[in-house]
A and B are shown apart, each in its own frame.
Chain A
């Protein structure tokens, strides 16, 4: 039986995509396009909240679609942040003279792709939905065609994306040729049997060692593809370029929500499907995470461009997430999910605040041009202060609470050195995050007067949304149990 009600959010978004396309032909104003998209996200979120989290997981079309609590939470996150994104985007695009419908259309398609991705339990649906969630991004990054940086970033991101997808497809095909299934659940079963030497499929019976080596080859290809997609060392080089090339507004979306969907995919693939092979993939993951922490923080330290800095910082932040995932324990996985949730929200918040800033005719480029932001707009500057201290991980903010979970998971599993290392690295992070605080708040009046910063006074909705996220980030930090408990139940 197919339950259409669980597909309602995607269907609603598809209708809005159709509406946007029709509106483009009819020549509807961008204001109305924004309203349409806003409405579709609001309906989507409403439906999701009305449905509530499912008590047990529900599988459709032979695993092509899984609907469980994790899917539900992820869809809520996508719809909720999408709603807020449209609010910020409408003002920004009017200012930049960007084609609003075009961008919203692409973002909508990408959101549908992500919603399908978080519900995938089969490699075919993973592949299709992942491509759906990535292809629009290539176009999004180069939306400002006259900008050479954007073009460079777009080309880099596309090439990287193709390589990663090719690697993943190759890995999957190898696994498929040996296991004979593309369903994540069945793959897990076969690998489990093979490890117990009770396999009944093809090469596992005749040449078990060769078969296992083949599976490991496939798994390592998939692992590398994941590292590419999420931006882990040594496959991170595109991240900073993408952050710099894409506009402030796009980073707000692309730097946050897709990361969460890849985390969900990781949990489905590595923590569940390849769980039996944990001893093989654990060490590479931990090593990549630790090196990402180190390199990301130190690279970010030496940047002078705001978005490049946040790009490298995100490499480091992904290091914390994957330290938890590498533990492959329920505590570690739930800590990582908490970390990712906190990071996504904080990053979304920080870029929402940055998106109102301009120097001259363009987005803010250098960190130095943020000078004396606090003098011009204390409300948003204070929000940025909260976001930055949260990134550093100072209590009692959200950033500390999520870091605490990861460190606690590491200590509980006796990875003391990694725990200490992760904490020490956060001090490096403090150096460059607080540098921004210094520039925003501490400059002399004489230097502040040279500031070329202009601030777009956002709409009433944008200000309200800023306040809502601000309050949310503070509240989630002070009352961590709100997200800790649901996330812990998800991981088990």
Chain B
């Protein structure tokens, strides 16, 4: 009952906030949210402490009959990867709740959305049944649609509609694809699907549909256009949830469905996907470089970081057969690390910028200057988050990038060079952000009147920074969790069923 306990607690917490929020004062609501977030955190740590590292496969498997006529179950279970991502989800929830001014003016809506999104994410990461997975995949749209629409800024209506329709369209065909696999296997448990005797054409069509759904969620260029529109309009906590939690759903679909179930199709698509990922890395990086809207800038940075996870995952297919098991694990593990690290930097950047926005009410990078002079402590924390974003050694971002790059250099040095050199762009736009926003003279009156944050106000940022440093210095904390499931994933990824011309 571990996973479903956390899921149920999140749902109840969210619904109570939505329903009871009308009768509670804002301060009580905040206190309630913090209490609920702590409760979730305690649950996750308890799960972590009781997780058996030596067991292969899923733990705490739960299965309830849901739709008997179809053979669909409501099924949950966690392996190391899923547990790491659930941990990430709860960290994100905590940081949104603690971050100063992150929650919107209607606190009960904000808190409801935060906990319902946590519920959806826990359900999705824990789902072992294909339809259960899809239910959470789509359900994630409702809270964020409402959050953007109700609490967003001026263009919120358009942004909310675009966000919903774009992602809804992308995953429309995903359901028939999942149903096809489930009905063909006679079992909707995703664990049964890698053994399906799918022909190459079937694999190509199904993987194309699933890849498209995942690519839009991720998002990958050229289907990324909804994200830079959604972020500036979303409230601070909405941006944090969207970037830190929801973008991971795309990678998770690749991990759980696309790679293990369609090995042959992925093998043929791998060059294209990696090319697309490298292009996205550069393209989104360059867009971030010339972007003047700070939230759009962070959004492009997110796109680039998520592209790195795609690069890492499809790299497994490009590795030489002799060393694929050892090196492939590095790539996949790096990818999960990258997801975790990006959640930290996205939360920190959006949350930290939200704190600035609540004081200055501008998103323009050019109209900010000299923040470091008036808010030195806050700036120091933001620098750390940005270093995590650039993936400097000692931060969690470095671990992910290093693992993926290491694996890439083993097989395709030029491709690796193309991907890793995009870090230069990342560094450039991040440092530009530092230079323009934090350094320089204090130009405006409103900036000069700013006061530095207190320790209490910055607690969430501080926590994220410590987490980034902690994971950067002791990556094995997470690495132990990821070892076995990543190895299992690599094995099923290269379990080719057809001879596709000796590319492997």
Give the chain A neighbours of B172 by CB distance below 8 A. Answer: 420, 423-424, 426-427
**Does B360 reach chain A (CB closer than 8 Å)?**
no
Q: How far is the CA of A419 from the CA of B177 in the complex (A)?
A: 10
With A407-B176, A408-B183 already in contact, the answer to whether A485 and B146 are too (CB < 8 A) is no
Q: How far is the CA of A400 from the CA of B173 in the complex (A)?
A: 14
With A400-B138, A441-B146 already in contact, the answer to whether A411 and B183 are too (CB < 8 A) is yes
**Does B141 reach chain A (CB closer than 8 Å)?**
yes
Q: How far is the CA of A411 from the CA of B205 in the complex (A)?
A: 14
With A408-B70, A416-B180, A442-B156 already in contact, the answer to whether A423 and B164 are too (CB < 8 A) is no
Instruction: Say yes or no: A411 contacts B68, CB within 8 Å.
Output: no
Instruction: Say yes or no: B149 contacts A437, CB within 8 Å.
Output: yes
Give the chain B neighbours of A426 by CB distance below 8 A. Answer: 172
Q: Which residue of B lies closest to A427 (CB)?
A: B169
Give the chain A neighbours of B164 by CB distance below 8 A. Answer: 430, 434
**Does A162 reach chain B (CB closer than 8 Å)?**
no
A238 to B: closest C-beta gap in Å: 30
B142 to A: closest C-beta gap in Å: 6
Binary CB contact string for chain A from 393 to 431 against chain B (1 if under 8 A, 0 otherwise) = 011100011001101101110001001100110110011
Instruction: Say yes or no: A438 contacts B69, CB within 8 Å.
Output: no
With A412-B183, A437-B149, A441-B150 already in contact, the answer to whether A420 and B176 are too (CB < 8 A) is yes
Give the chain B neighbours of A247 by CB distance below 8 A. Answer: none
Instruction: Say yes or no: B138 contacts A484, CB within 8 Å.
Output: no
**Does A334 reach chain B (CB closer than 8 Å)?**
yes
Q: How far is the CA of A416 from the CA of B66 in the complex (A)?
A: 24
A487 to B: closest C-beta gap in Å: 8
With A481-B65, A485-B68 already in contact, the answer to whether A400 and B165 are too (CB < 8 A) is no
Q: Which residue of B lies closest to A417 (CB)?
A: B176
B390 to A: closest C-beta gap in Å: 37
Instruction: Say yes or no: B134 contacts A395, CB within 8 Å.
Output: yes
Q: How far is the CA of A81 from the CA of B141 in the complex (A)?
A: 32
Instruction: Say yes or no: A430 contacts B165, CB within 8 Å.
Output: yes
Instruction: Say yes or no: A395 contacts B183, CB within 8 Å.
Output: no
Specify the main secondary structure of chain A where it touches its partner.
Answer: helix
The listed residue (B146, B149, B156, B176) touching A423 by CB distance below 8 A is B176
Give the chain B neighbours of A485 by CB distance below 8 A. Answer: 68-69
**Does A185 reach chain B (CB closer than 8 Å)?**
no
The listed residue (A401, A424, A438) touching B160 by CB distance below 8 A is A438
Give the chain B neighbours of A481 by CB distance below 8 A. Answer: 65-68
Q: How far is the CA of A130 from the CA of B173 in the complex (A)?
A: 40
**Does B374 reach chain A (CB closer than 8 Å)?**
no
Instruction: Say yes or no: B176 contacts A442, CB within 8 Å.
Output: no
Binary CB contact string for chain B from 118 to 153 against chain A (1 if under 8 A, 0 otherwise) = 000000000000010011101101100110011000
With A395-B134, A438-B160, A438-B161 already in contact, the answer to whether A408 and B146 are too (CB < 8 A) is no
- Please provide the chain B residues from 166 to 200 with a CB less than 8 Å away from any CB of chain A in the complex: 168-169, 172-173, 175-176, 179-180, 183
Q: How far is the CA of A392 from the CA of B150 in the complex (A)?
A: 19
Instruction: Say yes or no: A438 contacts B149, CB within 8 Å.
Output: yes
The listed residue (A411, A427, A441) touching B165 by CB distance below 8 A is A427
Instruction: Say yes or no: B70 contacts A394, CB within 8 Å.
Output: no
With A407-B175, A427-B165 already in contact, the answer to whether A480 and B67 are too (CB < 8 A) is yes
**Does A488 reach chain B (CB closer than 8 Å)?**
yes
**Does A228 reach chain B (CB closer than 8 Å)?**
no
**Does B34 reach chain A (CB closer than 8 Å)?**
no
Instruction: Say yes or no: B69 contacts A484, CB within 8 Å.
Output: yes
Binary CB contact string for chain B from 55 to 80 against chain A (1 if under 8 A, 0 otherwise) = 00000000001111110000000000
Give the chain A neighbours of B149 by CB distance below 8 A. Answer: 437-438, 441-442
Give the chain A neighbours of B183 by CB distance below 8 A. Answer: 408, 411-412
Q: Which residue of A lies closest to B18 (CB)?
A: A382
**Does B491 reach chain A (CB closer than 8 Å)?**
no
Give the chain B neighbours of A434 by CB distance below 8 A. Answer: 145, 161, 164-165
Instruction: Say yes or no: B138 contacts A395, CB within 8 Å.
Output: yes
- Please provide the chain A residues from 188 to 238 with a CB less than 8 Å away from any CB of chain B in the complex: none
A377 to B: closest C-beta gap in Å: 13
**Does B432 reach chain A (CB closer than 8 Å)?**
no
With A411-B176, A423-B173 already in contact, the answer to whether A442 and B150 are too (CB < 8 A) is yes
Q: How far is the CA of A431 from the CA of B70 in the complex (A)?
A: 29
Give the chain A neighbours of B224 by CB distance below 8 A. Answer: none
B86 to A: closest C-beta gap in Å: 19
**Does A389 reach chain B (CB closer than 8 Å)?**
yes
Give the one of A404, A424, A426 with max B CB within 10 A: A404
Binary CB contact string for chain A from 6 to 50 against chain B (1 if under 8 A, 0 otherwise) = 000000000000000000000000000000000000000000000
**Does B256 reach chain A (CB closer than 8 Å)?**
no
A401 to B: closest C-beta gap in Å: 8
Instruction: Say yes or no: B135 contacts A395, CB within 8 Å.
Output: yes
Instruction: Say yes or no: B69 contacts A427, CB within 8 Å.
Output: no
Give the chain B neighbours of A442 by CB distance below 8 A. Answer: 149-150, 156-157, 160
The listed residue (B69, B134, B150) touching A334 by CB distance below 8 A is B69
- Please provide the chain B residues from 438 to 479 with a CB less than 8 Å away from any CB of chain A in the complex: none
Binary CB contact string for chain B from 1 to 31 against chain A (1 if under 8 A, 0 otherwise) = 0000000000000000000001000000000
Give the chain B neighbours of A334 by CB distance below 8 A. Answer: 69
Binary CB contact string for chain B from 326 to 357 against chain A (1 if under 8 A, 0 otherwise) = 00000000000000000000000000000000
A324 to B: closest C-beta gap in Å: 13
Q: How far is the CA of A438 from the CA of B136 in the complex (A)?
A: 23
Instruction: Say yes or no: A431 contacts B176, CB within 8 Å.
Output: no
A97 to B: closest C-beta gap in Å: 35
* Cross-chain pairs A/B with CB under 8 angstroms, 29 sampled: A334-B69, A378-B22, A394-B138, A394-B142, A394-B168, A395-B135, A400-B138, A401-B67, A404-B67, A404-B179, A405-B70, A407-B179, A408-B70, A410-B176, A411-B176, A411-B183, A412-B179, A416-B176, A423-B173, A426-B172, A430-B168, A434-B145, A438-B161, A441-B149, A442-B157, A480-B66, A481-B66, A481-B67, A484-B69
Can you list the 3 inter-chain pairs with the closest CB atoms, starting with the nearest?
A: A395-B135, A423-B172, A442-B149
Which residues in B have some Cβ–Cβ distance to A below 8 Å? 22, 65-70, 131, 134-136, 138-139, 141-142, 145-146, 149-150, 156-157, 160-161, 164-165, 168-169, 172-173, 175-176, 179-180, 183
**Other contacts beyond A408-B183, A410-B176, A423-B175: 9, CB < 8 A:** A334-B69, A395-B136, A404-B131, A407-B179, A419-B176, A423-B172, A423-B176, A480-B66, A484-B67
